[in-house]
Chain A
Amino acid sequence: MTGMPEDPGSQLTALTELAAPDTTIDLYKACDDGYRLRLRRRRANRALTGTAAVGVLGVAATVLTIAHSPGPGTHGAGRPAAGQLPAGQQVTPGGQQVAPGGQTSPPTTAGGAPHSPSTASSTPGPGIAQTGGVRVPARFGWLPQAMAFIGEGPSAGTYTAAAGTTRGKAAGQPRVFLAVGDTGPAATSAKIPVAGLGTAAYWVAGKGQSVVPGQADLMWHDPSGKWLTVSGDSLDPATAAATLEHVARTIVVGQAPLPLPIQIRGLTPSALGVNQVVLTHPAPGRTGPSDLNIGLNTASDGLNVFVEPTGTAQGPWTWGTSACKDSDGWNICVVADPRAAAELPGGVDGLLAHIQGLGTDPAHWSADLFAN
């Protein structure tokens, strides 16, 4: 080689396609380590919160007033919609939360300048559960026999579902994923057309990656206008492509309710933002326990509602404020960051009192997360 070619991108791509050793990246270790990091930051934020208690109490009082205002189906002025960060609050790519008052210094680059937040801005959430209950735009049809559980639900404008052999951690176990959104393959993506899945269907790999059916994403444009994506993890390489194509061809597209085993009664949806719902349940024809994780937010922070079958030991949590109870077959826990807890009417116990289990028979569950 005697000089830089006309197309540096091609040369860089070729460089990445040289034989590489097996990766040592461990997603589940990243989750464990990231979770610990999250806890440390919460503790640090808690210390900051203590120093600014007077200001926080003032904000909390305002939020409570808004949360109790009439106006079903509408968000109170000045509070974020579901999935939206509070006004003036952002998360930088460096991972720190920047409060409106600038209490937390943003991370700096090597040059010492603060990060631009341009790539980290948030958008309002889809209003999950706010109108018409919790709904999903598509469901798995056929799945490989080993798939015993499905975790699914909407979050931040998209719907994702994951089928796996186990209900919890599944490192190294085969999984199949489905995502539904508005965005198709990027113009720079490498694509291989796939027949029999509508007018536009491809195996898709990002720029710089080789398209390997079975390892790449299978994307197709549905007549509903949505782009659907099926992908797999730890599938048998010899059959992965055929497996995923069959999964894709049997996806059932169409809005459908996602019945949940609990209900929040006596609170208007505008009192809380709902940014994520993940219901894990047995795959069709299989039996086993279900669980539910709902991500909520108040004006300044987040909280979760964890639902497991009665008798399951949940917690203790080392972060935030929590409260648990048993209700009609379910152990329900509310775990909130202290700032979120301060904004809940009656704290976490107050919210917990509004949550009712609906029994363990899915026939009695409801997609209406909020009810009077």
Chain B
Amino acid sequence: MAEHTPDRDFIEFVSGRVLWLRRIAFLLCEDWHHADDLAQTALTKLYAVWPKARSADNLDAYLRTILVNAYINETRRPLWKRLVTADTGVLLDLPERAPDSDAALDLRAALAKLPPRQRAAVVLRYYCDLSVEQTAAELNCSPGTVKSQTARGLDALRRILQAQPSL
């Protein structure tokens, strides 16, 4: 195969969004290394369709949707289930703790216990600041489902956090 020169407008578009994408991926999968893999997958898929995707109305939403789909699809794999079981509560990739890290780590552990679509709904609504309708579009479900998933997710987080001693 001839050497391929990357489309420059793709590099320009994504170069300022890697951190943003990585953080969303981290909230979805609660592991930085796994987040890198998810983000890498999303960028690869975006580049595969870049000649036509570059004219999408909202490229940020487009890229985020690819990421969320990659995450949800991955959760159906048996390997992911094994990793989650093993990783829950094991927080090895944080070399330092910020001043408020205990609370954040509690939340991270609690997030890990949410079902994938509930977690995605919470992250999209409250971290990405999307409306119910926008979240529904990105998760390909109805606004009512988003409302119920979000409510259940937040309720579950509250219950988990109340029952959990500080790390």
Contact check: which of A111, A119, A217, A275 meets B56 at CB < 8 Å? A119
Which residue, of A14, A34, A93, A209, has the highest number of chain B Cβ atoms within 10 A?
A93
Contacts of B146 in A (CB 8 A): none
Majority SS of interface residues in chain B?
helix
Contacts of A20 in B (CB 8 A): 22, 26, 32, 93-94
Contacts of A309 in B (CB 8 A): none
Docked pose: A94 CA to B68 CA in angstroms: 10
- Chain B, residues 89-132, CB within 8 Å of chain A (1/0): the string is 00001111110111111111001000011000011001111000
A302 interfacial contact with B, CB 8 Å? yes
Contact check: which of A8, A31, A155, A302 meets B47 at CB < 8 Å? A31
- Expressed in whole angstroms, the minimum distance between the Cβ of B60 and any Cβ of chain A is 8
Q: Are A18 and B22 in contact (CB under 8 A)?
A: no
When A34-B45, A110-B75 are in contact, do A18 and B51 touch as well, CB less than 8 Å? no
- Expressed in whole angstroms, the minimum distance between the Cβ of B107 and any Cβ of chain A is 5
Contact check: which of A21, A32, A38 meets B49 at CB < 8 Å? A38
A208 interfacial contact with B, CB 8 Å? yes
B16 interfacial contact with A, CB 8 Å? yes
Q: Are A91 and B93 in contact (CB under 8 A)?
A: no
Contact check: which of A84, A118, A207, A316 meets B2 at CB < 8 Å? A316
Q: Are B46 and A34 in contact (CB under 8 A)?
A: yes
Q: Are A302 and B9 in contact (CB under 8 A)?
A: no
Q: Are A155 and B54 in contact (CB under 8 A)?
A: yes
Q: Are A278 and B66 in contact (CB under 8 A)?
A: no
When A3-B158, A31-B11, A318-B1 are in contact, do A25 and B22 touch as well, CB less than 8 Å? yes
Q: Are B2 and A318 in contact (CB under 8 A)?
A: yes
- Expressed in whole angstroms, the minimum distance between the Cβ of A327 and any Cβ of chain B is 21
Q: Which B residues, 70 to 98, have Cβ-Cβ distances below 8 Å to chain A?
A: 72-73, 75-76, 93-98
Binds B, one of A46-54, A120-128, A220-228, A262-270: A120-128
A188 interfacial contact with B, CB 8 Å? yes
Q: Which chain B residue has the least Cβ–Cβ distance from A33?
A: B44
